[in-house]
Amino acid sequence: MGESTVSTSELVARLDALDADVSGGASTSAYADLQTTVNLNAVAIGLGLEDVTYDPERFPGIVHSPDAYDETVVVVFGNGTLFVDSGASVGVHEIIDDVTEQLVELGLLSEPTPSSEFSLTPTEVPVPPEYEETATRAETDAKNETADREGSAGDEAAAGAERCDSCGHELAGNENFCPDCGEEVRPSCPACGHELAGGENFCPECGTGLAAD
């Protein structure tokens, strides 16, 4: 078995992020160790590229939804781990046996069928080290995306802030004089920049409502 492990809840969450049809609350999870490594590219082709999700940059395993079983997701990792999450009426052990037999028939596993170390409703699933790498990369990408959004919002807010005409100091919006250079502050419309006399409720140029001082 691989030295790295992941909780089933985290694995199901990662699968859900891949838009896999994870069955949810009524499901049963299990894993089996084929005790041999597998070529994921060959597995993806053998199972049918149209029937699998395989994107090593996002997730280091093949996600497969067998046509024979409803509400079932099978994950094949390169280290020989099979993971099943299923809400089907048949047992997950039967599903794992069927998938293993299919891999043997495709010539992707040596015959006879390897004796699979099986665990029903596991708390953790053995995964290859690549799983942690892609999880870290996905988390970093998510943080960067959030930072980019926050940065863009901050830039937009800064661009729309009122500034002193003389020195460019950013103003709070209620000053009569610039706190930096002492120049008299002339109010302007935040929408169109029209210079205001002060005390208007609406901009006479564009009609934008103005907050009362």
* Angle between helix 92-105 and 40-47 (nearest 10): 100
Domains of the chain, first to last:
4-129 (3.30.310.10), 162-206 (no CATH)
The residues of the chain scoring below 70 in pLDDT are 1-3, 21-26, 110-116, 137-162, 172-176, 186, 198, 211-213
Tens digits of per-residue pLDDT, 16-31? Answer: 888 776 655 567 888 8
Spatial distance between the Cα atoms of 211 and 213, rounded to a whole number of angstroms? 6
Q: Does the predicted model carry a pTM greater than 0.75?
A: no
Q: Name the residue type at position 182.
A: G
Burial zone of 73 (CB within 10 Å; 0-12 exposed, 13-18 middle, 19+ buried): buried
